[in-house]
């Protein structure tokens, strides 16, 4: 990690690059107000017992990391339990283990595709007090096998019992737009279309409603996140499902869509060109907001709010050297803040045991050791940026910069006043050639620092500005990462924040002549918080 002297050298380096003065919007846009728990997670259904543990052995490491985000952002993350494996899970009432899964490498080397869960699976919901969940139900097999339908009937009461008022939505089916084309094996025929999907959805959600009315009527009518499609241009159209009556019962609480910037094995994917690239991120997010606007053009206020129910960097569970790096953490900051600025109300970053893009590895396995991963630090920075100020919600807006490729900036307003500015410098600085560990690069003095100056209308001269930095030795780093000098590593205090003493902290500056200026080293980010004069 950067030493105290190293950071001071970077931010004051002669190699710094000057920039224009950028105008911060005096008032936020009408969108851009994230929900509480904006920084949230989606956990693979088959991995959830690893992440949460059970009543006799709760995973306190995971809970510590979740509580860190709650302390910064004001609300703990909301947890969506789902993913591909929810559509493989069948219930076995006589099974003692929480989950028994069989991995078929020809279908997926990363998760089981034959899964049976027992009653003990639902103990995991009880291990994180104060956390709210959505529960994933099996649509993939639920519409084709009697055991799949019976799993829905049997497990709705178990989820009710385990969660009570902490269940905030149900999720019936994961990415049904891929059911007829799935690389893991199609579970619907080629003729599967929007009409067939909607009929099955309405039939099953009616059964869920019957089970809730019977076993947990105090929870009220069930609410759903849907359609949980994998993308915008796949086999099924979200717009056509709405036209076919998907929400005819007006029980869809969130319009949930999934997004990945690219794929782990897609040609030409690089850290700088794909992830640390603001233009790629905006294009990807904008496709989803455009789809949403096309479905709800006339009544946006009454439409289910838009969320990313599952998202991360590279689908197929990420790629080593890309999805697990500090550069991916910087991408996560940009992706989340841009999403918030254009009206996405909550973002569930997906993860699973041994996944390459995970925020943390919950347990040790033969493929990886328990520990906090680089992307988690991106979540920390986002939580700090979107935190309510004096319990008033914030609105996030984008600050246009001279370049829209490798840098981005955002403003957070609260009660109409500027509260924070975030700057993400995504110009790559690797500690090894191409991040591949071939040979050391020249001295760290070669790392450039760029100056960003902002005109902050409405902020009094002399007002104190607090500076907090998201730092690592380079974009390809997978360890040695800090936010404002804090480490959340497993080996220090099981994920609880630990202040390090070899990183510069406590930086402040003052607004002068209506401007504030900050230097940001390549491959790092900074959060400016406006205090009192």
**Which residues carry out catalysis?**
194, 310
- Alpha carbon separation from 402 to 19, 277, 409, 425 (Å, rounded): 8, 14, 11, 13
Rounded (10°) angle between helices 278-295 and 326-341:
30
Sign of CA dihedral 473, 523, 481, 57: negative
Instruction: Give, in degrees to the nearest 5, the angle at Cα 134 between 283 and 323.
Output: 40
What distance in Å separates the CA atoms of residue 398 and residue 411, rounded to the nearest whole number? 6
Per-state percent for the chain, helix, strand, coil, to nearest 5? 30, 25, 45
Nearest to 365 by CA among 172, 152, 110: 110
What distance in Å separates the CA atoms of residue 150 and residue 143, rounded to the nearest whole number? 10
List all residues 6 or more positions away from 298 whose beta carbon is below 8 Å from its beta carbon. Answer: none
Nearest to 398 by CA among 416, 414, 421: 421
Please report where in the chains the tokens 């004051």 appear, as a residue. Answer: 12
What distance in Å separates the CA atoms of residue 15 and residue 449, rounded to the nearest whole number? 6
**Are the C-beta atoms of 332 and 275 separated by less than 8 Å?**
no
Beta bridge partners of 43: 81, 351
- What is the DSSP-derived secondary structure letter of residue 144? T
What distance in Å separates the CA atoms of residue 390 and residue 11, rounded to the nearest whole number? 31
List all residues 6 or more positions away from 366 whose beta carbon is below 8 Å from its beta carbon. Answer: none
Nearest to 114 by CA among 97, 132, 99, 129: 99
Rounded (10°) angle between helices 146-163 and 194-215:
50
313 CB-side CA count, 13 A: 39
């Amino acid at each position: 990690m950067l030493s105290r002297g190293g950071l001071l050298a970077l931010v004051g380096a002669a190699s710094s690059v000057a920039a224009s003065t950028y105008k911060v919007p005096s008032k936020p846009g009408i969108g851009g107000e994230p929900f509480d728990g904006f920084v949230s997670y989606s956990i693979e259904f088959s991995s959830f017992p690893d992440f949460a543990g059970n009543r006799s052995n709760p995973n306190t490491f995971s809970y510590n990391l979740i509580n860190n985000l709650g302390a910064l952002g004001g609300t703990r993350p909301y947890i969506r339990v789902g993913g591909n494996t929810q559509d493989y899970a069948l219930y076995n009432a006589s099974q003692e283990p929480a989950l028994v899964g069989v991995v078929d490498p020809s279908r997926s080397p990363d998760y089981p595709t034959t899964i049976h869960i027992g009653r003990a699976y639902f103990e995991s919901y009880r291990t994180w007090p104060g956390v709210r969940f959505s529960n994933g139900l099996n649509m993939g097999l639920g519409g084709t096998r009697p055991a799949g339908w019976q799993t829905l009937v049997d497990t709705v009461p178990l989820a009710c019992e385990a969660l009570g008022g902490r269940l905030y939505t149900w999720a019936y089916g994961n990415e049904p737009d891929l059911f007829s084309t799935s690389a893991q094996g199609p579970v619907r025929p080629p003729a599967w279309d929007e009409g067939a999907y909607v009929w099955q959805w309405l039939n099953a959600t009616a059964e869920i409603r019957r089970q809730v009315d019977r076993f947990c009527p105090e929870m009220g009518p069930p609410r759903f996140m849907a359609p949980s499609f994998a993308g915008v241009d796949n086999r099924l159209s979200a717009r056509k499902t709405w036209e076919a009556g998907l929400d005819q019962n007006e029980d869809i609480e969130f319009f949930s869509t999934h997004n990945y910037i690219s794929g782990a094995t897609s040609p030409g994917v690089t850290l700088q060109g794909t992830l640390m690239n603001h233009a790629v991120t905006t294009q990807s997010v904008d496709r989803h907001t455009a789809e949403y606007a096309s479905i709800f053009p006339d009544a946006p206020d009454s439409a289910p709010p838009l969320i990313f129910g599952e998202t991360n960097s590279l689908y197929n569970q990420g790629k080593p050297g890309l999805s697990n790096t500090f550069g991916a953490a910087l991408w996560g900051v940009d992706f989340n803040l841009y999403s918030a600025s254009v009206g996405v109300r909550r973002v569930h970053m997906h993860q699973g045991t041994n996944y390459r893009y995970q925020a943390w590895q919950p347990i040790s396995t033969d493929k990886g050791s328990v520990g906090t991963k680089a992307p988690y630090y991106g979540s920390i920075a986002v939580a700090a940026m979107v935190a309510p100020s004096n319990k008033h919600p914030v609105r996030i807006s984008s600050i246009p910069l001279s370049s829209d490729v490798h840098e981005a900036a955002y403003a957070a307003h609260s009660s109409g006043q500027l509260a924070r500015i975030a700057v993400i410098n995504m110009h790559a600085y690797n500690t090894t050639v191409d991040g591949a560990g071939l040979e050391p690069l020249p001295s760290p003095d070669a790392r450039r620092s760029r100056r960003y100056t902002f005109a902050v209308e409405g902020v009094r001269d002399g007002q104190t500005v607090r500076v907090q930095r998201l730092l690592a030795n380079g974009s390809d780093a997978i360890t040695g990462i800090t936010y404002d000098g804090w480490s959340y590593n497993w080996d220090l205090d099981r994920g609880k924040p630990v202040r390090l003493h070899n990183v510069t902290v406590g930086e402040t500056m003052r607004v002068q002549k209506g401007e504030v200026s900050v230097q940001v080293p390549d491959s790092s980010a900074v959060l400016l918080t406006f205090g009192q004069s």
